[in-house]
Amino acid sequence: MISFSHVCKRYPGGKDALSDVSFEIHPGELVFLTGHSGAGKSTLLKLIMLMERATSGQVVVNGRNTQRLGRAKVPHHRRHIGVVFQNHQLLFDRTVYDNVALPLQIAGFGLRDTGRRVRAALDKVGLLHKEKHLPIALSGGEQQRVGIARAIVNKPPILLADEPTGNLDPALSAEIMNLFEQFTEVGVTTLIASHDHALIKRMNKRVMALQEGSLVYDDFLPAKEPAQ
Ligand SMILES: Nc1ncnc2c1ncn2[C@@H]1O[C@H](COP(=O)(O)OP(=O)(O)OP(=O)(O)O)[C@@H](O)[C@H]1O
Ligand SMILES: [Mg+2]
């Protein structure tokens, strides 16, 4: 579903943000991406959604070699990828409904289809009753869930999240993670960049760790020692 083969990314004038990174993520997997600040997590996500291009190596997403995708094909590529940011980037002058409807409007869905899909997405994140609210009237966790509804409203096969729980307390973070887990149960491939080690440990999923641009760990975390 997502495969990196010997990928390097060097920003203009900078050092290597990613060097010789190889991995494969299969359909329906949920994988955490961790590592210190500046390790290359966001860069790796940007290569998948083609916000950046690899300097060398191969990035294959959804069966497509992204190197061969010209600029004109990028919007179509992104339609297959839902993206959740830490600062959720909601439009504060539009209602919850309008925020979630945005990707569908861009993709040219009709009004009726849009309504059906937006309400289904809001229902999934438990915010159907707030569709007419402005984001300012919602809590941080609710705003984050609107961001998630917007990311999944198009039913993308891939979901990327960059520090989706960065601003949330532990209870809300756990709630958001449960949501992601539910999506993977219906086959969505999910990659979540996160600093939150306690949360990652609890989730018991595959973890990829970056260190200064190199992939230094790619496995499930070892099980806890049984209490004596
Ligand atoms: N547009 C850019 N131009 C030049 N250098 C960049 C650019 N974006 C990121 N970098 C550099 O690439 C490296 C990796 O950055 P990246 O944002 O991928 O790290 P990160 O793991 O997401 O960090 P954080 O946890 O702080 O979000 C850093 O050294 C950063 O300074
Ligand atoms: Mg980052």
How much is the pTM?
0.93
Residue with token string 């409203």: 153
Dig out the tokens for 99 from the structure: 């925020």
User: From CA 151, how far away is CA 131, in angstroms rounded?
Assistant: 16
Closest C-alpha among 117, 98, 99 to residue 109: 117
Q: Residue of the nearest CA to atom 12 in ligand 1?
A: 17
Q: Phi, psi (5° rounding) for residue 160? A: -115, 135
Straight-line distance from the first to the last Cα atom of the chain, in angstroms, rounded to the nearest whole number: 42
Give ion ligand 2 contacts, CB < 5 A: 41-42
- Pick from 7, 8, 11, 214 the residue to mutate for probing ligand 1's pocket: most ligand atoms within 8 Å of its CB: 11
Is 37 near ligand 1, meaning CB less than 6 Å away?
yes
CB atoms within 10 A of CB 110: 9
Is 228 near ligand 1, meaning CB less than 6 Å away?
no
Between the CA of 55 and the centroid of ligand 1 the distance, in Å, is: 15
pLDDT score for 107: 86
Cβ atoms of residues 107 and 114 within 8 Å:
no
Residue 33 forms beta bridges with which residues? 193, 208
Q: How is the chain split into domains, by residue range?
A: 1-80+157-218, 92-155
Which superfamily is assigned to 1-80+157-218 in CATH? P-loop containing nucleotide triphosphate hydrolases (3.40.50.300)
Query: Which amino acid is residue 78, in one-letter code?
Result: R
Cβ atoms of residues 164 and 192 within 8 Å:
yes
Spans of the chain, pLDDT less than 50: none
pLDDT score for 165: 86
Q: Phi, psi (5° rounding) for residue 222? A: -60, 145
- Pick from 43, 192, 197 the residue to mutate for probing ligand 1's pocket: most ligand atoms within 8 Å of its CB: 43
pLDDT score for 176: 87
pLDDT score for 22: 98
User: From CA 66, how far away is CA 91, in angstroms rounded?
Assistant: 30
pLDDT score for 88: 65
Is 11 near ligand 1, meaning CB less than 6 Å away?
yes
Cβ atoms of residues 176 and 147 within 8 Å:
no
* Residue 178, CA distances (Å) to 109, 123, 128, 186, 200 in order: 29, 15, 18, 13, 12
- Pick from 9, 18, 41, 87 the residue to mutate for probing ligand 1's pocket: most ligand atoms within 8 Å of its CB: 41
Is 150 near ligand 1, meaning CB less than 6 Å away?
no
Cβ atoms of residues 95 and 134 within 8 Å:
yes
Dig out the tokens for 96 from the structure: 């919850």
The minimum-distance atom of ligand 1 relative to the CA of 13 is: 4
Query: Which amino acid is residue 176, in one-letter code?
Result: I
Cβ atoms of residues 81 and 26 within 8 Å:
no
Give the pLDDT confidence of 75-109 residue by residue, as tens digits: 999 989 999 987 768 999 999 999 999 999 988 99
User: From CA 152, how far away is CA 135, in angstroms rounded?
Assistant: 18
Helices within 49-196 (DSSP H only): 74-78, 96-107, 111-124, 140-152, 170-185
Between the CA of 163 and the centroid of ligand 1 the distance, in Å, is: 14
Between the CA of 213 and the centroid of ligand 1 the distance, in Å, is: 10
